[in-house]
Structure 1
């Protein structure tokens, strides 16, 4: 895609497949019409979209250059709209992933927030065994990503409307996040400066108070005995709030939190119909996976870096904690918390976190019982 001031949109789909089994319209026809309609849109008299479809590119299908060109377009676009009929697309060799599969993966790897997945009527099973296996791998991969698809699409008009809805949603959301990101790069004035002026104790209190207010504002959340209870996968999960009021490399700030999960057994009496706990740690600055593993105490754990920070889960002791990074002021703290819960639900991790919290409850009750017996 040429570098310019327009919003770059890529439409990813199969080419020659019919829209549906009883349709004469191919997905190439659909994409060309969508390209025409989208590029005709004007804002205050000015065209704002540039649409990339592979039909406009010179390399022929199956050529290595074509594969690279498609993935390069995915990386460079501002919005990727995946029109999927379940067909993984052509591949470089028999057992490789298809190009549609690869484009979707590359989009998620580059920037998940720019990807919009639209499910079209499903393709029939491929006659070729390699193609059939590719399609199965692609469909299994999509099901694990749990993308929001919206209502069922039956007609070409349905598909066009869904694309326009997805594109407008993407533009609005990415614009808002762009403004937030721009604001978050300056910490020398405003509320971020106000928090920086505070001493460690007061800053820690401010960060924890903001986390508490944010969580209690979530649907299904409540406060019991000064602890926050959130709803995850229809289960009540206790969330213990902490804050590191400076960089994690500053020992005095880090030691205000320590290894809080070592004291989980003190909450035993409150964990009857409630499970957990899950530790939410607001970090005034950044955090690394190495620092997260260091807090846990050993390296063999699930450690995930995301836009919110770092999530850590020990699958033996069922300890779970989250570093929410760059909590420099009230807004940034709320946003990091919001992004964490968005990630839980978008990935299906909420269900796993809830199950792990149930297991953690049983473990700490056993620990508490042993301590009482000693």
Structure 2
């Protein structure tokens, strides 16, 4: 089966911004984009082209709705998206405060954040009073996507973008390999799990999650808490994770009943021998053999004012009132796919910076649990 080349979109404003060319002169952004396009399309893998680059070479003035729609369609459809940021949001439709550069970034990022990278060009500045430019910068800062920041001139920019594209292509290839590693539900270990009883499948999912979370071999079984528990240090906080397995889809009554509402048993986690007074948590991880939805997470928590974040790992949900945190891990059909879901969750915590909020909520939840224990078993 023949596959097309990977499509790369290079997004930036048109020609008003110039960069040092390394020879004492200046280079227009149009020339930089055209050079990058030629560089990337000339790069071969086993004597065959690997990349196809799309750039919008409108030079002057504002385009119309048709051009706007085409740019956004390309941003959504491309496989890899690179934004060259110079401090300006680009041309705008009449009467709008949204620049085309931000619109392209939003379209790509909301469609697939993993394919997006931002390069802050040297001397990129935001002009005073530029509302669209401020909105664009706020969007970029909130995404925490300023990872490539060349400091000098075109040769450095060119080299860093080459290196960046190399890493992006490798990342895309590795993600594809991860998908290959997931056995279908009718082969290998997935078939073995399908043959298991409800109890055994739930136990197998729990064990796979706990062993991937645990920093040591110290997984602990707590029957009173209906699952396995494992400790992991998330930056500066050691967090207790309570691991559960849904033997069937959460869309089925049998799957929901097997999981229940595990946070109602948090007070029983005090029996964990490895859970020290300074540790935080618990955070609940629920492995699900099928896909998961935000509605399922809401139903499980039984609350509406919650933080809900979908991702490649499944759905993460946090109750702001009781500080209960649950992550529904999707596609847990065998040990490999279950471990993969856990790793995707941990990677998201790190890359998004959400680990700070997770740790804060986990510390709060520990205090709440201790209070519950104290009310249930008051000292005499």
CA offset digits 1:28-53 (Å, max 9, x no partner): 11111111111111222222221111
Q: 1:192 to 1:225 in 2, by over 3 A?
A: closer
Question: How far is the alpha carbon of 1:267 from its aligned partner?
Answer: 2.8
Match of 2:233 in 1: 231
Match of 1:83 in 2: 84
3-state SS of the aligned residue for 1:158? helix
3-state SS of the aligned residue for 1:167? helix
Question: How far is the alpha carbon of 1:80 from its aligned partner?
Answer: 0.8
Q: 1:271 to 1:314 in 2, by over 3 A?
A: farther
Does 2:118 match 1:117? yes
Do 1:211 and 1:334's aligned partners in 2 also have CA atoms closer than 8 Å?
A: yes
Match of 2:263 in 1: 261
CA distance in 1 between counterparts of 2:106 and 2:65 reads 18
User: What are the equivalent positions in structure 2 for 1:1-374 lying under 5 Å apart?
Assistant: 5-16=4-15, 17-19=17-19, 24-55=26-57, 61-93=62-94, 96-126=97-127, 129=129, 132-147=130-145, 149-150=147-148, 152-182=150-180, 184=182, 186-216=184-214, 223=218, 227-268=229-270, 270=275, 272-373=277-378
3-state SS of the aligned residue for 2:87? coil
Question: How far is the alpha carbon of 1:166 from its aligned partner?
Answer: 1.8
CA distance in 2 between counterparts of 1:186 and 1:111 reads 24
Q: 1:63 to 1:327 in 2, by over 3 A?
A: same
3-state SS of the aligned residue for 2:323? coil
CA distance in 1 between counterparts of 2:204 and 2:257 reads 18
CA offset digits 1:140-174 (Å, max 9, x no partner): 22121112614643221221122112212222221
Structure 1 spans left out of the alignment, 5+ residues = none
Do 2:14 and 2:59's aligned partners in 1 also have CA atoms closer than 8 Å?
A: no
Calculate the TM-score normalised by the size of structure 1. 0.89
Q: 1:66 to 1:265 in 2, by over 3 A?
A: same
CA distance in 2 between counterparts of 1:15 and 1:86 reads 12
Question: How far is the alpha carbon of 1:233 from its aligned partner?
Answer: 3.5
Question: How far is the alpha carbon of 1:65 from its aligned partner?
Answer: 1.9
3-state SS of the aligned residue for 2:209? helix
Do 2:182 and 2:336's aligned partners in 1 also have CA atoms closer than 8 Å?
A: no
Do 2:211 and 2:217's aligned partners in 1 also have CA atoms closer than 8 Å?
A: no
3-state SS of the aligned residue for 2:81? strand
- Name the stretch that deviates more: 180-189 or 359-368: 180-189
Do 1:39 and 1:50's aligned partners in 2 also have CA atoms closer than 8 Å?
A: yes
Question: How far is the alpha carbon of 1:59 from its aligned partner?
Answer: 9.7
Do 2:83 and 2:105's aligned partners in 1 also have CA atoms closer than 8 Å?
A: yes
CA distance in 1 between counterparts of 2:95 and 2:251 reads 49
CA distance in 2 between counterparts of 1:330 and 1:198 reads 13
Do 1:9 and 1:80's aligned partners in 2 also have CA atoms closer than 8 Å?
A: yes
Q: 1:13 to 1:151 in 2, by over 3 A?
A: closer
Do 1:19 and 1:27's aligned partners in 2 also have CA atoms closer than 8 Å?
A: yes
Q: 1:40 to 1:290 in 2, by over 3 A?
A: same
Do 1:289 and 1:303's aligned partners in 2 also have CA atoms closer than 8 Å?
A: yes
CA distance in 1 between counterparts of 2:235 and 2:96 reads 37
Do 1:11 and 1:31's aligned partners in 2 also have CA atoms closer than 8 Å?
A: yes
Calculate the TM-score normalised by the size of structure 2. 0.88
3-state SS of the aligned residue for 2:90? coil
CA distance in 1 between counterparts of 2:183 and 2:108 reads 25
Match of 2:225 in 1: none
